[in-house]
Structure 1
Amino acid sequence: MIRLCRVYEEEMGIMYPVVDIEKVIIHGTNLYTFTEAARRNGFSNDNTAKGLTDEGTSALKMVLACSTLTEGNGRSEVAYRLFESVREAADRILHGETFGIKDLAFLVLVAIYHFHCDEEALAWRIIGQVARMCIELGLHRRDSLSKVVSDDEERAQAINLFWSVYVLDRRWSFGTGMPFALQDADIDPNLPEPELSIPYLNVMIAYSRIGSKVWRSVSSFSPSPTLNIEEIGYLDYQVQHWQKSIPSSLQLSSAPSSQTSTRAIRRLQILLYVRANQMRILIYRPVLHSASSIQENIQYASTAVELAKDTIRALTHLNQTSDIYLIFLASCHAPWRARIRTRVLRWRWPGWRDMRFMG
Structure 2
Amino acid sequence: MDRGQSCSYSTSFESDGWNVDTAQARPRQESGRANSSSSSSNQDHVVELLSSLQEQLDNLASQVHMANHDRSNPPSPISSAGTAKLQEFATMLNNEASAHDVRNTADRGSRTAGSPGFYGPTSPDYTLNVGQLKLRRNSCPGPPLQEQQLQLASIDEDAASDTVDDETAQDDRPSVSPQTVDRQDATPLLTFRSIMGLQEAIQLVHIYQEVVGDLHPVVDIDALIKQAQSWYADSDSGVTSCELLMIFNLVLVIALRADPRPNHCHKENLLRESFQDAVNARLAAPAYSIKHVTIIFLKGWYDFFQEMPRSAWRMCGIAGRTLMELGFHNSQVFNHTLTSDAQRTEACILISSILILDRQWSYATGLPLHFHENSFSSISTSSVQHPYLKAMLSFILISDRFGEPISRAAKGERYNDDDAFELLNFQIDQWRRKAVGNYTLSECRTWHTNPSTRPPTWAILLNLRAESVRSQLLKPFFFSESDIETTKNHLRAATELVYDICHVLYMLDTYTDIYRKQHPYFQHILACTSGLAFLVIAFLKQNKTTVLSNLEPDLIDSLGGSFLMAECVTLNHAKRSRSARRLAKRLVEMRRILLSLGILRGPGTGANEEETLANTSRSIPRESFIPQPEMLDLQSQSGYTPPLYDGNISDGFGFNMPTTVSDTDVIMGWADSLRFQWPIGDVSHMFSESSF
With the length of structure 1 as denominator, give the TM-score of the two structures: 0.81
* Structure 2 residue ranges without an equivalent (≥5): 1-200, 517-522, 543-558, 584-692
Equivalent position to 2:324, from 117, 122, 135: 135
Q: What is the match of residue 289 of structure 1?
A: 479
Aligned match of 1:24: 224
Name the CA shift for 1:250/1:136 in 2 (closer, same or farther; >3 Å). Answer: farther
- Name the counterpart of 1:114: 303
Tell me how far 1:346 sits from its aligned partner: 7.1
Contact 1:59 1:109 in 2 (8 A): yes
**Aligned partner of 2:376: which letter?**
I
SS at match of 1:292: coil
The answer to whether 1:313 aligns with 2:503 is yes
What is the CA-CA distance between 1:83 and the residue it aligns to? 2.7
Kindly indicate whether residue 510 of structure 2 is the aligned counterpart of residue 334 of structure 1: no
Change (3 A) 1:68 1:228: same
Q: Could you tell me how far 1:336 is from its partner in structure 2?
A: 6.9
Amino acid at match of 1:209: L
In the alignment, which residue of structure 2 is the partner of 1:209? 397
Alignment partner, residue 381 of structure 2: 193
Could you tell me which of 235, 246, 255 is aligned with 2:424? 235
Counterparts of 1:315 and 1:172, CA distance in 2: 20
CA distance in 2, matches of 1:21, 1:157: 13
Which of 146, 155, 171 aligns to 2:344? It is 155
Determine what percentage of the aligned residue pairs are the same residue.
Answer: 24
Verify: 1:69 aligned to 2:272, yes or no: no
1:86-101 to 2 correspondences below 5 Å: 86-101=275-290
In 1, distance between residues paired with 2:334 and 2:401? Answer: 26
- Residue 119 of structure 1: CA displacement? 1.1
Aligned-partner SS, 1:297? helix
- Secondary structure at the aligned position of 1:208 is classed as helix
Partner SS, residue 379 of structure 2: coil
Alpha-carbon separation, structure 1, partners of 2:261 and 2:353 = 23
Is 2:505–2:515's contact at 8 Å kept on the other side of the alignment?
Answer: no
* Contact 2:391–2:435 (8 Å) recurs in 1: yes
Name the aligned partner's letter for residue 7 of structure 1: I
1:218 equivalenced with 2:406 (yes/no):
yes
Q: Which amino acid aligns with 1:159?
A: C
SS of 1:192's equivalent?
A: coil
| Farther off after superposition, 286-295 or 106-115 | 286-295
Over residues 94-133 of structure 1, what are the superposed CA-to-partner deviations in whole Å (9 max), with x where a residue is unaligned?
2222321111111111110011111111111111111222
Q: After TM superposition, list the pairs within 5 Å mapping 1:52-63 onto structure 2.
A: 54-63=242-251
Distance 1:324 1:129, change over 3 A: closer
Corresponding position: 1:34 with 2:234 = yes
Name the CA distance, whole Å, in 2 between partners of 1:84 and 1:249: 45
Q: CA deviation at 1:144?
A: 2.6
CA RMSD of aligned residues (A): 3.7
Aligned length: 340
- Tell me how far apart the structure 1 counterparts of residues 223 and 355 of structure 2 sit (CA, whole Å): 24
Q: Secondary structure at the match of 1:19?
A: coil
The answer to whether the 8 Å contact 2:348/2:383 transfers is no
Quote the offset at 1:202 in angstroms: 1.2
Match of 1:41 in 2: none
Cα-to-partner distance string for 1:184-225 (whole Å, 9 max, x where unaligned): 13233x422264641111112222333222124423496302
Whether contact under 8 Å (2:329, 2:376) holds in the other structure is: yes
Contact in 1 for aligned 2:300/2:315 (Cα 8 Å):
yes
Work out which of the two has the higher radius of gyration on C-alpha atoms and give 1 or 2: 2
Q: What is the rounded CA distance, in whole Å, between the counterparts of 2:226 and 2:425 in structure 1?
A: 46
Q: Distance in 1 between matches of 2:484 and 2:412?
A: 14
The answer to whether the 8 A contact 2:256-2:268 is kept is yes
> AA paired with 2:283?
L
Distance 1:200 1:137, change over 3 A: same
Give the TM-score taking structure 2 as reference length: 0.44
Residue 467 of structure 2 is aligned to residue 277 of structure 1: yes
Q: Secondary structure at the match of 1:252?
A: coil
